Amino acid sequence: MLAKDIINHVLPILKSSDTVGDALGWMEDYKVGQLAIVEDTEYRGLISQDILLDADESLPMVALQPECPEVFVLETQHLYEVLAQSQKFDLEVIAVVDHEHRFVGTILVNELLNELTKKLGSQELGAIIEIAISNRDYSLSEISRLIEANDTKVISSYYTSGDESSNYRDILTLKLNRRDISPVVATLERFEYHIIGAYAFEPIVTPDKERFDMLMKYLDL
């Protein structure tokens, strides 16, 4: 999914002639702390509620200095790139332009996060496992093959580089389409993958229960 697919076409766009009072009213109506300023098709930047609250309500936008005039995304950029840009500059909304840098709309970051949550399969039933792994040994295709050999599929995954909180181990997090993951755990352990966390799984009632209980006890230490 691309930036152009989640543009909010209802959110107001400010013109240079709009007043501080106009902007504050729209921010209140739409429960947002930032709005884009656009003149014709040229993106001029963002204006935040904090700036407006310190200004006279009769002032036009042209009298204020907009923020982030160089911060925007192309309509063909992926949602992950949009999220990275919004987090880098701590934005509530982010402007979208075409390849000729003409303004095409704005994205609400909250709506972006909701869309990414759906894409990660967080609403799907299924267990989540975390695997500590070294970068040189990482092969998602190999891990997926082992999981699929147990009639289980990977719904989503993400890879986190190691830091002090993870003892500098890289972590692969997998959302699976089943809650009974004892066969998956047994297979991954047999191939010497180090499972460090398991969540939302069904109680184990197979012969693997003793091994799994030992694993969970170890993880709680």
pLDDT, position 116: 82
Q: What is the pTM of this model?
A: 0.68
Task: State residue 147's pLDDT score.
Answer: 94
Topology of domain 3-117 in CATH is CBS-domain (3.10.580)
Q: For position 13, what pLDDT does the model report?
A: 96
Look up tokens 């299924």; give the residue: 126
pLDDT at position 15: 95
The CATH code of domain 128-219 reads: 3.30.70
pLDDT of residue 221: 45
- From-to residues of CATH 3.30.70 in the chain: 128-219
Residue 145: how many CA atoms within 13 Å on its side-chain side? 5
**pLDDT per residue as tens, the chain (221 positions):** 899 999 999 999 999 999 999 999 999 999 999 999 999 999 999 999 999 999 999 999 999 999 999 999 999 999 889 999 999 999 999 999 999 999 999 999 999 988 887 776 666 778 889 999 877 778 889 999 999 999 999 988 888 887 766 566 788 999 999 988 889 999 999 998 999 888 877 665 545 555 555 555 555 54
Q: What's residue 199's pLDDT?
A: 85
Q: What pLDDT is attached to residue 201?
A: 73
Which pLDDT value is given to residue 197?
Answer: 87
Every domain range in the chain assigned CATH 3.10.580.10: 3-117
